Amino acid sequence: MTMDLKGKKIVLGLSGGVACYKAAELCRSLTKEGASVQVVMTDAATHFITAVTMQALSGNTVWTDQWDPRMANNMAHIDLTRDADAILVAPCSADFIRKLAHGVCDDLLSTMCLARPRRLPLLVAPAMNVEMWENPATQRNVRQLEQDGACIFGPAAGEQACGEVGFGRMLEPVELLEELVASFQPKVLAGKRVLLTAGPTFEAIDPVRGITNLSSGKMGYAIARAAREAGAEVTLVSGPTTLPTPHGVRRIDVKSAAQMYDAVMAAVGGQHVFIGVAAVADWRVTNASDQKMKKQDDGAAPNLQFEQNPDILASVAATTSISGWPYCVGFAAESENLVEYGAVKREKKGIPLLVGNIGHHTFGQDDNTIVLFDDSGHTVLPRADKLTLARQLISEIAKRIEKRSLLT
């Protein structure tokens, strides 16, 4: 398990709103990821959740009052942020957004935000009624915050505590955690669009049976998350998996290799990077039955006929423009002789980078070892959890894109 926030100090600010109940889970999640959490609450926040609860979850003193005598120099608004790595205000009410946008400092949390060092990121998770969120005054304040350098996380749309439906819901704790972790990742793909495939495909034999493989989709989903963390706009074409979609990633669900091919070719226009991670079936059944096949009394096996599926990676590579987009990255799962087969496959596909692994050593696992094949040979990325490897791979792709851009 990665501890993405190990050694980080996060100041978690709570303003008034029913979404304060989510802040408790968020605080616990932050500490599980290795962060030290310092909670600062407005008076309004204490009407929704107690300081005692947040102190128990964070393991640290909770601050609510600018004049708290426990701070020896009475400068809590200064001291609480000087060794912090980020301030995250979650929930951030419409009123507190107004304070941040206009430099109001009439309580500890607002004064602390105004007095923070300029290097310190201010991260804001809005939470309010849909009408409050859509009010022009709130939108003006949000735009001002963004112009001032604050990062806005959300809000999400959905059913609200008041019974109305629309934008204004605070993101869920797991989504806020992903956003926070992403904020610390280098934006090496900022402004780029990335299309990738993940998971297995399923080739139907009849309505209840089919041919598939052991791919879990974990590596592809980790790469989708890593690409989004790196600042890219990410589209994920996924075969059948039970994995949750990484936050901020657009997902297109497919089942068969033919459906994956159609989805990829429809989306590939305008993409800067294509990463073919999915374990795509090489063959499909051409005479699949409309009804469930029954066992024959004589024990005869069904007469299945096959034809080759289209090569998604080669087809995308063939669309590469004179400017070199999309930069194509392929994956190859072998059972033996990875170095030999990987180099040959990269040449055959006509792509600049191929990632190889031993399939039965990675399918369904949480860690992996991968080998990168390019014009200069091969590079081994040692065994690690898949998200760590995904971030390393995205960094390697970004370096190659940058190098190529300098040469063209």
Residue numbers annotated as active site: 162
- The helix/strand/coil state of 345 is helix
CA angle centred on 383, ends 382 and 384, rounded to 5°: 115
Separation between Cα atoms, residue 63 and residue 85, nearest integer Å: 18
Phi, psi dihedrals of residue 185, rounded to the nearest 5°: -85, 140
* Dihedral sign from CA coordinates of 232, 237, 241, 244: positive
Instruction: Compute the distance between CA of residue 105 and CA of residue 280 in angstroms, rounded to an integer.
Output: 57
Residues 6+ apart with CB under 8 A from 363: 213, 214, 215, 216, 279, 333
DSSP state of 28: H
Burial of 126 (0-12, 13-18, 19+ CB in 10 A): buried
d(CA 236, CA 72): 52
